[in-house]
Amino acid sequence: MNIFKKTAFGLIKKVKILPMDFYAKIHYEYYTDKMLDLSNPIEFNQKLHWLKVYFHPEIITKLADKYEVREYVEEKIGKSI
């Protein structure tokens, strides 16, 4: 990757308000020097980026919060755990 493209991607990468799919493509190309194809991911890293962009089940946000996960465990297993 040439120095101009690397610098431009480095600056764009710092802008966090970009759409997630665009940001993932820039981030992937910046670190791997390969294009990210989210419509047909083949490599393992491409599939991980697809999961980051498109896979957002409701349970993940609940399990990320330590207080909500305690309530979830109490609900599923019981208060003894």
Residue 35 lies in a domain: yes
Per-residue pLDDT in tens (0 to 9) along the chain, 81 residues: 677 777 777 777 677 677 888 888 888 888 888 999 999 999 999 999 999 899 988 888 888 899 999 988 998 888 876
Q: What predicted TM-score, i.e. pTM, was given to this entire model?
A: 0.64
Tally of CB atoms within 10 A around 27: 17
- pLDDT at position 51, please? 92
Domain that includes residue 67, residue range: 3-76
- pLDDT at position 1, please? 62
Residue 81 lies in a domain: no
Give the largest Cα separation in the chain, rounded: 59
Residue 55 lies in a domain: yes
Residue 65 lies in a domain: yes
Residue 29 CB-half CA count within 13 A: 20
Check the CA dihedral 37-40-42-46 and report its sign.
positive
